[in-house]
Amino acid sequence: MKRIVVFASGSGSNAENLIRFFKNSDNASVIQVLTNNPHAKVLDRCKRLNISAVAFNRIAFSKSDDVLNILKSSQPDLIVLAGFLWKFPEFILNEFPNKVINIHPALLPKYGGKGMYGMHVHNAVVSNKEKETGITIHYVNENYDEGAIIFQAKCEVFPTDNSNDVAAKIHELEMNHFPIVVEKLLNG
């Protein structure tokens, strides 16, 4: 059985989608969720779904081996960032080469980098009158949103769309594609 650890910072809709997708799988399961936000709604979702969840601070994540040791003891086959907002430390990436992936709410390399997440991305897409946007699933490296691209899915942006319309389209792409791409990676 393949083991997935999810990192999230906010509401956890992508984390819940992954947990539910793999709940009855014979091949993989989400074994744990880690968050940098002790008030994140993802913690409530995990409690409801009976999934182990741990909140940590910046020191535990990037200045000590606390989070690294949690990961080592969990022995994940894949670490999935699902709305996780902190840059991943190189020393953790080095322990799990090509095993850390992220989902980004734009078609990278556009609208990536520090500070480009959630509504910030959707506002930029609308402000720049983009005709399309989408999601990118990519490997995580030492720089924000610069790891090798695994998968992209696109959607049209209409001139009448506002940021909330774009957010809804992106959310639908995430829900439809993210678990399938994770499953393919694990079975690849």
Q: Name, in order, each residue with C-beta under 8 angstroms of 135's C-beta and a sequence gap of 6 or more.
A: 103, 104, 105, 106, 107, 152, 153, 170, 173, 174, 177, 178
Which of 104, 122, 138, 177 is an active site residue?
Answer: 104
- Rounded distance, CA 53 to CA 34, Å? 6
Phi, psi of 81 (to 5 degrees): -90, 120
Cβ atoms within 10 A of the Cβ of 137, count? 23
Is residue 177 annotated as part of the catalytic site, yes or no? Answer: no
The SS3 call for residue 3 is strand
Catalytic residues: 104
